[in-house]
């Protein structure tokens, strides 16, 4: 818990505490299948935990305010797996627009969409531009770590294909909520044929449409079999440090010269 949760303020405090220097941080997660070994809440859990830790650590310094997370998002690439809950694109954009309008009404100027689900990434880039245009906010898209499908790093043993329920996500959940992980069900599912492509591949210069079941019946894409809580702790601490540094730059960012 942190004392800088916006929803815990009383309404007279909003005018007293929120102003142009305030940075609102909105975790955006997902509730979707993550293979047989990880919980549906994986993306929401990781994004919220990192955001809470950073706001607790650097909130006073950077005037950060944590918004309650958006749990359901654009997850229909996993729609054919039981347990996945998703919003249509227009619904999610509408939700984010409404949140942005409310943030702008407080006098704050900066809103960070802190995204824990790779499938949201391109849509949230659009949302940032729409919120900037409609409500005048300075808007930013950040991640606990950049998704491998969008150029982020994936461990070598996953050939850059550890994009969903793989080594690092599994390690993070083992660190945060080991009671939710069934490591006995973890298996390797790395599409090595795709990694051999020069252009059409995750993180490559040619994007492609895909559904999770294109890569097999288990739903995950990566190799979680070597995941450990110790690895997850190192990843979590690194994500908190990197996010804090990014938010420090966000807090002083301006188009005015």
Tens digits of residue pLDDT in 3-37: 899 999 999 999 999 999 999 999 999 999 999 99
Question: Between residues 72 and 204, which one has the greater pLDDT?
Answer: 72
- Which of 211, 230, 235 shows the shortest CA–CA distance to 152? 235
- pLDDT average, residue stretch 199-214: 93
What's the whole-number average pLDDT of the chain?
96
| Contact indicator for 3, 60 with CB cutoff of 8 Å | no
Closest CA to 114 of 68, 75, 160, 155: 68
pLDDT at site 3: 84
90 pLDDT band, cuts 50/70/90, is: very high
Q: Nearest CA to 210 among 199, 221, 225?
A: 221
Section 159-171 average pLDDT: 95
Q: For the chain, give me the number of helices (H) and strands (E)?
A: 7, 4
- Position 100 pLDDT exceeds 90: yes
In Å, how far are 18, 73, 144, 159, 232 from 43, measured between CA atoms? 29, 10, 10, 22, 14
Query: Is pLDDT larger for residue 231 or for residue 202?
Result: 231
Using pLDDT thresholds of 50, 70 and 90, give the confidence band for residue 159.
very high
Domain limits of the chain?
6-252
90-99, 134-143, 154-163: lowest mean pLDDT where?
A: 154-163
Q: Tell me the two tokens of residue 149.
A: 């499908």
* pTM, to two decimals: 0.96
> Which pLDDT score is estimated for 251?
98
Cβ neighbors of 256 (< 8 A, separation 6 or more) are none
pLDDT over 60 (residue 2) = no
pLDDT above 70: residue 199: yes
CA Rg value for the chain: 18
What is the CATH code of the structural domain delimited by 6-252? 3.40.50.10310
Distance (Å, whole) CA 91 – CA 238: 33
Confidence bin at 124 (pLDDT 50/70/90): very high
Residue 177 DSSP one-character state? -
E strands in the chain: 23-28, 64-66, 110-115, 138-142
Contact 241, 54 (CB under 8 A): no
Give the model's confidence band at 243: pLDDT under 50 very low, under 70 low, under 90 confident, else very high.
very high
With a cut of 70, say whether residue 1 has pLDDT above it. Answer: no
């Amino acid at each position: 818990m942190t004392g800088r949760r916006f929803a815990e303020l009383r309404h007279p405090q909003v005018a007293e505490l929120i102003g142009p220097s305030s940075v609102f941080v909105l975790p955006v997660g997902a509730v979707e299948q993550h293979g047989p070994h990880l919980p549906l809440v994986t993306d929401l859990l990781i994004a919220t935990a990192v955001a809470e830790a950073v706001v607790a650590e650097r909130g006073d310094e950077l005037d950060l305010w944590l918004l309650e997370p958006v749990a359901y998002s654009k997850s229909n690439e996993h729609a054919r797996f039981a347990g996945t809950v998703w919003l249509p694109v227009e619904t999610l954009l509408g939700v984010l627009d409404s949140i942005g309008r409310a943030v702008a009404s407080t006098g704050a100027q900066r809103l960070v969409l802190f995204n824990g689900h790779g499938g949201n990434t391109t849509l949230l880039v659009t949302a940032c531009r729409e919120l900037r245009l409609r409500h005048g906010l300075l808007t930013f898209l950040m991640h606990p770590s950049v998704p491998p499908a969008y150029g982020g790093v994936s461990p070598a043993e996953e050939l850059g294909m550890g994009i969903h329920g793989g080594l690092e996500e599994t390690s993070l959940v083992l660190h945060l909520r080991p009671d939710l992980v069934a490591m006995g069900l973890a298996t390797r599912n790395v599409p090595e044929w795709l990694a051999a492509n020069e252009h059409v591949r995750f993180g490559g210069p040619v994007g492609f449409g895909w559904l999770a079941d294109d890569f097999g019946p288990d739903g995950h894409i990566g190799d979680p079999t070597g995941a450990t809580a110790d690895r997850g702790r190192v990843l979590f601490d690194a994500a908190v440090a990197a996010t804090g540094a990014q938010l420090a730059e966000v807090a002083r960012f301006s188009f005015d010269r």
